[in-house]
Amino acid sequence: MAKLLGIDYGKQRTGIAETDDLQIIASGLTTVKTTDIWKFLEEYFQQNDVEKIIVGESLDLSGTPNPIESDIKKFITKFHKKYPEIEVLREDERYTSKMALDSMIKGGVKKQKRRNKALVDQVSAALILQGYLYRG
């Protein structure tokens, strides 16, 4: 079985999460500069078999797309062209940043480390991926 990859796409940073090979557990993997996402993906796909990517869908509380959504759609279009064999799905990412901070607090992560936005993005990507796994 191939892995699933979760992506919390942002203007500056993109959080990445992955499942185990059995697609049971989602774990935060890393955060990369958004400008480096293609290099990261190329290297990752050379070393890992990936069945699908799950990309966060950025909506406001009323369900209206946030401005970043146009950048996310451009990323997905380019991804389809580069990797047509890998399925792309979307997962609502509302509240993932808040849930990431809450889980870090409950996990005993110190306040200084919680200020690290890269870590929050990575945990958010894991929550996006876990949300997909729960629904699947």
CA contacts within 13 A on the Cβ side of 55: 20
Judged by DSSP in three states, 88 sits in strand
Q: What is the per-residue pLDDT for 60? A: 84
Which 8-state DSSP code applies to residue 35?
Answer: G
Pick from 1, 14, 28, 12: which is nearest to 76 by CA? 14
Q: What is the per-residue pLDDT for 79? A: 98
pLDDT less than 50: residues of the chain = none
Fold classification of 3-135 (topology level): Nucleotidyltransferase; domain 5 (3.30.420)
From edge to edge, which strands make up the β-sheet containing 50-57? Answer: 26-33, 13-19, 3-8, 50-57, 87-92
Q: What is the per-residue pLDDT for 20? A: 95
Domain coordinates of the chain in residue numbers?
3-135
